[in-house]
Structure 1
Amino acid sequence: MEPLPQVIDNVKESFKLAKRDIIELAQTVNTLNETLHEMNKKYQELLKEQHAMKLKLSEKGSKKIIISTTGKRQYVGSRRALKVHDSNCVFAKNIKPKYKINFTSKSKALNQGYKLCDCLKK
């Protein structure tokens, strides 16, 4: 009848191992839950940041529309030359789109080293 104590010892050891595994799994689940909670927080922060950026971008877009509809003079320069023209100037209309630079004021063009065309000197 000696095999019975060996079976009991084996069962006890099996339960100890199972208990240890369950505890490890519970700790892993808790760690994963904490990580998930942190990721959700970060996701919410990123969503708020994205929303703020979209608002800022839409405000900038509407400002551009307001500026373009005010009837202010538009200034055009070329990346290949150092002259700035009125947008209605014959020379400005000859500038290819890929070389065209738009300025909102004469001073911005002058600060970048452009010279005034005769159409702007009048």
Structure 2
Amino acid sequence: MAILEATTAAFFSGSALMARGEINGFAALANGLNLPVLLLGGVLLPISLGPTWLRDLAHLDPLYYAVDAARSLAAGHVGAPTVWHAYAILVPLCTFILVWATRVLRRVVT
């Protein structure tokens, strides 16, 4: 969950710096991404209840892997493959987003 928090914080911080204020579209970006990402991640409703195309599309959402791993961890399955899949997806994504947000911050500050 900490990796996911760092990823989302860096993404939205970098996006806000690029938008340079709420009027230029940051609020629309944040709200426009929030609900689809939550729905595809299976946070609000189990993704297994959806049609096949939606289940396939959910695999493109990194939050899906975090939710799947959290459910496995809550069930007591610490070494489950879903936990390792989440790490394999979220760690490189977090690294990429942190590098991108740092570059945006450097560009804005200088």
Instruction: Indicate the TM-score class for this superposition, using the shorter chain for normalisation.
Output: under 0.3
Give the helix-richer structure, 1 or 2. 2
The TM-score with structure 2 as length reference comes to 0.26
Computing the radius of gyration over CA atoms, which structure comes out larger, 1 or 2? 1
The TM-score with structure 1 as length reference comes to 0.23
Q: Which has the higher contact order (CA 8 A, sep 6+)?
A: 2
